[in-house]
Structure 1
């Protein structure tokens, strides 16, 4: 165990050092220098916090690794169980997102005649924002209700309840990967080919899953005691659909100051990142400030979520 902690500490220190160097090489003026210094201080503080919470950070991946066979069986069964008893089975997992996508395209492109997204087809702009958001919605809703749905497992003393939010985040990936492949196919049809920039999709999939996982630990533990939390999350997701630039072009619509305010939302980074990888052909390191900001927020949420979950889990079997 001591050896694992040393390796984990080395990884954290290297990540902090690389992040500081990454920001230092992207200073262009006095303002960017002040912002970079501030972010470097935050990264260093977060690094110290991570070192003090090494067990919290690596407990989840270690638990999944130890029970990896059972975990993958549960993930596959979780995906299939949603459609047990229906005639068309998993077909329904794809129908609702496709209908929603077509409705939004019709309303904004045909009905309202909007969609000023530059040189790119509006349908591609819409898909590259809406498909990642579908994953956010499904994974967050699933994570929030994971303990309630698997309450019979929570009450078993030998079962590690900490893998249940991860289970929902991974289960939602099955449909997400299919739609991303479909998005790339449509992009190829429109003449926007697959290249090295497209590889960043894997980075943004991991980034979105990591952020959602941290939020899921918070919401799952809260829902166990406060059942209305699932309804609150649904309302927040509806608000997020419009505050996150999924169906409109933020850079072409908002003033610079207002754009910064919208970018504070970490899901902005995710949606914009998928468009960078597929449409705009930009690397994630071309926006160092927002990349550093996203990971500071995501890691802080993850550590806080896991600690919150672990503090309350001794009471889960009593309230479910």
Structure 2
């Protein structure tokens, strides 16, 4: 019961501070690229270059052919685009309390909203790439249908997972600064442990079962289900139940870490 109250309290804080969160997220997005010549263009150039590099290596070099004769660039983008959002949002939100330490020390400020600011700041770029993804699909002759609305569900699921993880990492990194490097290493391995560059059917069933324990497996396959396979999320009941069970547990652990460590934030920072 206490855990439920804690979650409801956090979401109430998000709702009451929604205008402030959006304002700070916009400022965070613009400030990040303010000192570079190309400005916010870097937020889009780097992911595009990464997509092109992987596409060239796997389709032109290794001549990989994905399932159902879908052009490899479309199949690849369905995996890379949610991963870009996940890795950037988690990396940035991990440092949110340190970066906004001057706000953490203010008694009246709702410190709990800081990780969400970083997530929403990264979300701006992700929304652009989702629109870009749909445009590329249209260029290849794939017209949008009702399944496109399912992307909203998977985006919400991804944000919820990110919020829980960011509460854990942001709370702990204040006391263990090496966590930044650990998160970066995990993200490097994560791109290969998620079905982004490889097809799930390439692995024997026993290994594929282990890989499905990765919550991002559900998200990435969900994006492809919405645009390629045309499968509703409720048709994958076991994966859906597993994902939400893990995400809720992660969120509960994150809020517990935040509650226990919050009294010491200002002293350490």
**Structure-2 separation of matches of 1:301 and 1:115:** 36
- Distance across 1 between alignment mates of 2:264 and 2:147: 46
User: 220, 225, 230: which one pairs with 2:170?
Assistant: 220
Q: Distance in 2 between matches of 1:125 and 1:95?
A: 20
Q: 1:196 aligns with which of 143, 146, 151?
A: 146
Which residue number in structure 2 is paired with residue 311 of structure 1? 260
Q: CA contact under 8 A between 1:137 and 1:237: conserved in structure 2?
A: yes
CA distance in 2, matches of 1:250, 1:197: 21
Contact 1:224/1:316 (8 A) holds in 2: yes
**What's the TM-score, normalizing by structure 2?**
0.97
Q: Choose the corresponding residue for 1:241, options 181, 191, 204.
A: 191
- Report the Cα distance in structure 2 between the residues aligned to 1:81 and 1:307, rounded to whole angstroms: 31
**Does the CA-based 8 Å contact 1:129-1:246 persist in structure 2?**
yes
User: What runs of 5+ residues in structure 1 fail to find an aligned partner?
Assistant: 1-50
Aligned residues: 269
Q: How far, CA to CA, are the matches of 2:246 and 2:215 in structure 1?
A: 8
Correspondence for 2:179 among 224, 229, 236: 229
Shift of residue 117, structure 1, vs aligned partner: 2.9
Alignment of structure 1 residues 1-320 onto 2, 5 Å: 51-251=1-201, 253-320=202-269
In the alignment, the residues of structure 1 paired with residue 194 and residue 152 of structure 2 have an alpha-carbon distance, to the nearest angstrom, of 21
1:9-34 per-residue CA deviation (whole Å, 9 max, x = no partner) reads xxxxxxxxxxxxxxxxxxxxxxxxxx
Please give the root-mean-square deviation of Cα atoms over the aligned residues, in Å: 1.0
Gapped regions of structure 2 (runs ≥ 5): none
CA distance in 2, matches of 1:219, 1:305: 8
Q: Taking structure 1 as the reference length, what is the TM-score of the superposition?
A: 0.82
